[in-house]
């Protein structure tokens, strides 16, 4: 039998199960959580908790599900400090900056890529993130995309093939030839490592017809689509994502009413990436508009060396509340249950019986502090699959 642990004296517990508590967060006070092995076996009142082998006193503090970061680009080498510095000194962001990272990634060994990925995953976990999706997209050759995905798949369940991140310089005069490679030999080499296929559908990257060809080829190989859509301009990305049954359409900074209607009528989650607008001094997406239309909204870091080099979900929550019209409750839901929905996962992003025991104890009395105290490291302890991964807690008998 695996050991069981009760976290008791929880002042405020976010379950994301409306049947257990108040509102969409299923919020409970004076609560307890019991984990056994990798799973949650009880979430409810402290006085109703079943006995457990070990006990942790939460001291009246808040407990939330581990963050689900459903959009990141962590397989890369080098950095883009100079580009960021130039942009913050008055030059505008262009999609072509990705090519700088492509050059560095192609010359990096697998060991370097692996070490970089692990460093960023550790950084994320320290801040409370327990589920991470990451993408290829800085290799852009058959070999470099495949080894990027192999590195990601060694550590993560949620791996996305993004050969269609940008057309590499050597195909500048033959973008159709590059799409043929992405939908042909590169897909053959990459599909075994990936669950998802993604495309950067944007002026300067891939147009609607190219994006459709790339996603359709991925679907035929058993991958499920997700789309970088409507980041820099209004375009066909959102409607294509909904039409093809994508799990998520991401960025959504420039939307027409037809785009919002399409998202509201389909099953595609709208994923917002406020670190990107923050780090490029761009206008933020309007989360309020999407929420009021009934769209399921996720929040994610988009952690990447070019446009959003933050690994912090709490930072994204704070920006979403301050700049995008989300309430603190909505932002915390979107960073946990919303991310799970964007990855079509039922086992994470919630804390109720049967869920994976991915748990964050905050050094705060309420989840609202994630927005109220921007920039403050609040993750006091993090359990991942039932194992204490971050922080130290005193165990009682």
Compare residues 38 and 207 and give the one whose CB is closer to Zn ion.
207
148 is in an annotated binding site: no
Going by C-alpha positions, the residue among 322, 306, 319 that lies closest to residue 274 is 319
Q: In 10 A of CB 100, how many CB atoms?
A: 17
Distance CA(369)–CA(382), nearest Å, equals: 17
Going by C-alpha positions, the residue among 386, 301, 355, 340 that lies closest to residue 158 is 340
Compare residues 202 and 302 and give the one whose CB is closer to Zn ion.
302
Token representation of residue 59: 């001291």
165 is in an annotated binding site: yes
Residue 336 Cβ vs Zn ion, minimum distance, rounded to whole Å? 20
**Could you say whether residue 202 binds Zn ion (CB under 5 A)?**
no
71 is in an annotated binding site: yes
* Greatest extent of the chain over all pairs of C-alpha atoms, in Å: 69
Residue 151 Cβ vs Zn ion, minimum distance, rounded to whole Å? 18
Return the residue nearest Zn ion (CB atom): 302
Determine which residue in the list 17, 158, 302, 358 makes contact with Zn ion, applying CB under 5 A. 302
From 12-20, 238-246, 295-303, 337-345, give the range in contact with Zn ion by CB under 5 A: 295-303
231 is in an annotated binding site: yes
From 100-108, 119-127, 299-307, 377-385, give the range in contact with Zn ion by CB under 5 A: 299-307
From 205-213, 285-293, 294-302, 389-397, give the range in contact with Zn ion by CB under 5 A: 294-302
Helices (H), 32-174: 81-88, 98-106, 110-126, 142-153
Compare residues 147 and 165 and give the one whose CB is closer to Zn ion.
165
From 122-130, 212-220, 264-272, 296-304, give the range in contact with Zn ion by CB under 5 A: 296-304
At 59, give phi and psi (nearest 5°): 65, 30
Where do we find the tokens 């919630």? 350
How do strand 67-69 and strand 4-13 relate by DSSP bridges? unpaired
120 is in an annotated binding site: no
3-state helix, strand, coil in the chain (%, to 5): 35, 25, 40
Compare residues 135 and 369 and give the one whose CB is closer to Zn ion.
135
Task: Tell the burial category of 91 from Cβ atoms under 10 Å away from its Cβ (0-12, 13-18, 19+).
Answer: exposed
Compare residues 49 and 152 and give the one whose CB is closer to Zn ion.
152
Instruction: Return binding residues for Zn(2+).
Output: 71, 73, 228, 302
Instruction: Return binding residues.
Output: 71, 73, 80, 138, 165, 228, 231, 302, 304, 306-307
> Applying CB under 5 A, which residues contact Zn ion?
302
């Amino acid at each position: 039998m695996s050991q069981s642990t009760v976290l008791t004296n929880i002042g405020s517990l976010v379950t994301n199960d409306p049947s257990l508590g108040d509102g969409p967060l299923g919020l409970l006070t004076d609560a307890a959580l019991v984990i056994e092995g990798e799973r949650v076996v009880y979430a409810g009142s402290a006085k109703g908790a079943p006995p457990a082998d070990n006990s942790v006193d939460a001291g009246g503090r808040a407990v939330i599900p581990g963050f689900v970061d459903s959009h990141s680009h962590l397989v890369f080498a080098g950095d883009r400090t100079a580009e960021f510095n130039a942009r913050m000194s008055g030059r505008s962001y262009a999609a072509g900056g990705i090519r700088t990272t492509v050059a560095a990634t192609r010359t990096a060994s697998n060991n370097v890529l692996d070490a970089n990925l692990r460093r960023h995953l550790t950084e994320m976990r320290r801040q409370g993130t327990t589920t991470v999706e990451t993408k290829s997209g800085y290799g852009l050759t058959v070999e470099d995309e495949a080894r990027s995905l192999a590195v990601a798949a060694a550590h993560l369940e949620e791996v996305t093939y993004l050969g269609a991140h940008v057309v590499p310089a050597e195909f500048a005069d033959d973008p159709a030839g590059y799409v043929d490679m992405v939908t042909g030999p590169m897909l053959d080499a990459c599909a075994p490592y990936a669950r998802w296929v993604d495309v950067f559908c944007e002026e300067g990257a891939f147009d609607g017809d190219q994006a459709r060809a790339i996603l359709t080829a991925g679907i035929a190989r058993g991958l499920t689509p997700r789309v970088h859509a409507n980041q820099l301009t209004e375009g066909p990305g959102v409607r294509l994502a909904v039409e093809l049954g994508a799990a998520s359409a991401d960025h959504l900074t420039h939307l027409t009413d037809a785009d919002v209607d399409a998202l509201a009528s389909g099953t595609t989650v709208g994923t917002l990436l406020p670190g990107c607008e923050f780090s490029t001094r761009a206008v933020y997406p309007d989360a309020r508009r999407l929420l009021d239309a009934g769209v399921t909204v996720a929040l994610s870091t988009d952690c990447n060396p070019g446009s959003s080099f933050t690994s912090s979900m709490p930072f994204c929550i704070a920006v979403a509340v301050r700049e995008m019209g989300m309430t603190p409750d909505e932002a915390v839901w979107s960073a946990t249950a919303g991310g799970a929905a964007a990855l079509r996962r039922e086992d994470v992003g919630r804390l109720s019986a049967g869920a994976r025991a991915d748990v964050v104890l905050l050094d705060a009395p309420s989840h609202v502090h994630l927005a109220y105290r921007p920039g403050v490291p609040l993750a006091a302890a993090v359990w991942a699959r039932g194992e204490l991964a971050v922080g130290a807690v005193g165990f009682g008998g």
